[in-house]
Amino acid sequence: MPFVEINGLEFFKFDLLGDEVVQAVFTRKGGVSPMPWDSLNLGGTVGDSRENVIENRRRIFEALGIEVTSIFDVWQIHSDMVLYSDKPRPLDHPHEKADAIVTNNPSVTLLMRFADCVPILLFDPVHRAIGLIHAGWKGTVQKITSKTVQFMQESFQSKPADILAGIGPSIGVDHYIIKEDVAREVAETFGNKVGEVLQAANGDIHFDLWRANEILLREVGVKSIQIAQQCTACDLKRWFSHRAEQGKTGRFAALIKLRPS
> Domains (ranges, CATH) in the chain?
3-170+225-258 (3.60.140.10)
Q: What is the pLDDT of residues 209-251, one digit of tens each?
A: 999 999 999 999 999 999 999 999 999 999 999 999 999 999 9
Q: What is the pLDDT of residues 123-177, one digit of tens each?
A: 999 999 999 999 999 999 999 999 999 999 999 999 999 999 999 999 999 999 9
For the chain, give the mean pLDDT: 97
- H/E run at residue 204: strand 204-207
pLDDT of 1 > 60? The answer is no
Q: What is the pLDDT of residues 247-260, one digit of tens each?
A: 999 999 999 999 99
Residue 120 pLDDT grade (very low, low, confident, very high; cuts 50, 70, 90): very high
Residue type, 212: A
Pairing mode of beta strands 252-258, 224-227:
unpaired
For residues 90 and 24, what is the distance between their CA atoms, to the nearest angstrom?
22
Residues 6+ apart with CB under 8 A from 148: 82, 100, 102, 120, 122, 131, 133
Give me the pLDDT at residue 2, please.
Answer: 86
Of the candidates 239, 245, 3, 15, the one whose C-alpha atom is nearest the C-alpha of residue 113 is 239
